[in-house]
Chains A and B, each alone.
Chain A
Amino acid sequence: MLTTTIISGLVLGGTYALIAMGLTLQYGIARIMNLSYGEMIIAAAFLAYVLFGQWGVNPVLGLLVAVPLGFAFGYLVYGLMLRPLVARAASRESLEIDSILVTFGLLFVIQGAMLVAFGSNYTSYNYLNVGIDVFGAVIAANRLVALGLAVVAGGALYLLFTYTLWGTALRAVAVSPRSAPLVGIDVNRAARFAFAIGCGLAAAGGVVISTYQTFTATAGVVFTMKALVVVIMGGVGNILGALSAGLILGLVETFVATYLDPGLTLAATYLIFLAVLLWRPAGLFGRSSR
């Protein structure tokens, strides 16, 4: 029982870490608070569902379709909708407000499109739904695949950001958007890339989630919320923070669902969120700037 709970918690936490990394890039580097993030996740989940159901494409291969599509979508959205807002914003606060409002509108557009296309029913498909024995606990194989994908994607991203010049440039924008141009970094390009990578990660998260969870066209809000909580827990723009905070949240939720009540997981998320806001507003691993 305990082993099962811990492993399913890690699986869930791995998924949260994956989607939260995308959001932390968007908010930390591109300075866009993207409220439609969860809808992008669900859109990718539907894409994986169609690919698997209609053409029998394995979700792991589906990632190769979904992630570039998500990246392209993010690139377009940033260029068409968000770039004009960045250009007219007088301060960071006004950009934050504008981006929240515009992405809130985008949330309804994407959600509406999904409702028209797929209806509001619970959707799922059967992929690798066989039990595998792990340390004496039986876990569905699709969950292990999901954990593996999250670890690979998250690890690759972490290495990319820590050890390449390109990743260092993006982190520099996150730390100090004003000084970055002084050393020859194109902040606009960095922001656009960060936003697009964030959407690519959302797509990856959506495909991973679709392999082991049921989802609906209106479930995006919950994913946005959880990703936001993880981002704030880990510290905005902090990839390693998002990774560990995601795992913590996944474990807490699974323990609450197993030992208390599955209906209380969101309440547990909120409790953690409140606690972090009150005690460590800069994130669990951040230095307080206030």
Chain B
Amino acid sequence: MTLKSFGSVLFFLVVLAALAFLPFYAGEYVVTLMIGMTGYVVLATAWALFSGPTRYISLATVAFFGIGAYTVSVLSETLPYVLVLLAAALVGLVVALVVGLATLRLAGVYFVIFSFGLAELVRQLVTWYEVNITGTLGRYIFLPVTSDGIYWQLLALAAATLLFSWAIGRSRLGLALKVIGDDEVVASHCGINIAGVKLALFSVSAVIITLVGAIQAPRWTYIEPSMVFNPTTSFLTLIMALLGGVDRLWGPLLGAIPLFLLFEWLSANFPNHYPIILGLIFIAIVFVLPNGVLAAAERIFSKRRGVTVPAANQGGAL
């Protein structure tokens, strides 16, 4: 391990520790804010984990997020908490495998379309089941989990996701993914099992997203399908990851933090015009920063140093 990489590992650990001790010296409001922010950091990073290298745009984030939250609400009184989380992850995995097997072998646009409607489908199925079989629409969650506990769990999940993302980038799987993203024909000639690799990564990403929903569920105490399957969640995750840049480890994180704060402020000050502003910001990002902030910053810095680097992936949004 070189000195530089040792330094960055140390820095990562110090920041993580500082964040972990946050509830002891910050107020309730800060913890609540941090829960939301950490949640979106995980969502954006997990989203980019699959969509960055493969360039498949998943609009199904909230489908998995909602599945996680709903599983917790159904099982919270019958199983111990750890098993509930495991069950949620398992349900997310099964749905991801079914969706992935059906759509990932086809052209990317079919996947986008299917994921676009998946949240709506799951929401309607859950609503139908609740109304016809159980006879109620909402559910209560009474779990002895404090907001500090939720924050710590999310922080651990964030650290694990970042570590995993970093490890994938250095593994054979990561290399295979990069080849697939650049040219599928070349990838298949190299003997890469394209469908298998995509499916594996999509499942991992979906399980992480499901866990975010599951961990955050006790915050609400009362949940309804229309609350946990809100399409804005998918939209925010997508914007954050794109702003930061999906093909870099820290990209989604750097996109998630400023945008989360901005959206908090916007939703507090302009609750009615919030979706319009959101849409306009999103269109602006696609136009101005097609490869994300980090890529743009790197280009500017390298220009200043007098080095010309070829701008990679001109024109593509991801």
B151 within 8 A of A: no
B33 within 8 A of A: no
B57 near A100 with CB under 8 A, answer yes
Contacts of B114 in A (CB 8 A): 273, 277
B74 within 8 A of A: no
Task: State in angstroms the CA–CA spacing of A225 and B276 once bound together.
Answer: 22
Segment at the interface with A among B82-90, B116-124, B201-209: B116-124
> B292 to nearest A CB, angstroms?
13
Task: State in angstroms the CA–CA spacing of A278 and B221 once bound together.
Answer: 40
Task: State in angstroms the CA–CA spacing of A93 and B182 once bound together.
Answer: 12
Q: CB < 8 Å: which of A100, A106, A278 contacts B102?
A: A278
How many of chain B's residues have a CB under 8 angstroms from any CB in A? Answer: 46
B283 near A102 with CB under 8 A, answer yes
Task: State in angstroms the CA–CA spacing of A278 and B316 once bound together.
Answer: 28
A88 within 8 A of B: yes
Q: A35-B116, A104-B235, A225-B120 known; A281 and B275 CB under 8 Å?
A: no
Question: What are the interface flags for A82-105 relative to B under an 8 Å C-beta threshold, 1 for contact and 0 otherwise?
Answer: 001100111101101110111011
B316 near A94 with CB under 8 A, answer yes
Q: A97-B317, A115-B275, A116-B273 known; A266 and B108 CB under 8 Å?
A: no
Segment at the interface with A among B4-12, B127-135, B187-195: B127-135
A266 near B314 with CB under 8 A, answer no
Question: What are the interface flags for A104-127 relative to B under an 8 Å C-beta threshold, 1 for contact and 0 otherwise?
Answer: 111111111101100000000000
Question: What are the interface flags for A177-188 relative to B under an 8 Å C-beta threshold, 1 for contact and 0 otherwise?
Answer: 000000000000
A160 within 8 A of B: no
A50 within 8 A of B: no
Q: CB < 8 Å: which of A81, A97, A102, A108 contacts B235?
A: A108
A105 near B279 with CB under 8 A, answer yes
Contacts of A108 in B (CB 8 A): 235, 275-276, 278-279, 282
Contacts of A281 in B (CB 8 A): 106-107, 110
Between A and B, 15 residue pairs with Cβ closer than 8 Å are: A33-B109, A88-B314, A93-B316, A96-B109, A97-B318, A98-B290, A100-B109, A104-B235, A106-B279, A108-B235, A108-B276, A116-B272, A221-B231, A225-B116, A263-B128
Task: Show the binding face of A for B, using Cβ within 8 Å.
Answer: 33, 35, 81, 84-85, 88-91, 93-94, 96-98, 100-102, 104-113, 115-116, 221-222, 224-225, 228, 232, 261, 263-264, 266-267, 270, 273-274, 277-278, 281
Task: Show the binding face of B for A, using Cβ within 8 Å.
Answer: 55, 57, 59, 102-103, 106-110, 112-114, 116-117, 120-121, 124-125, 127-128, 131-132, 231, 235, 238, 242, 272-280, 282-283, 286-287, 290, 314-318
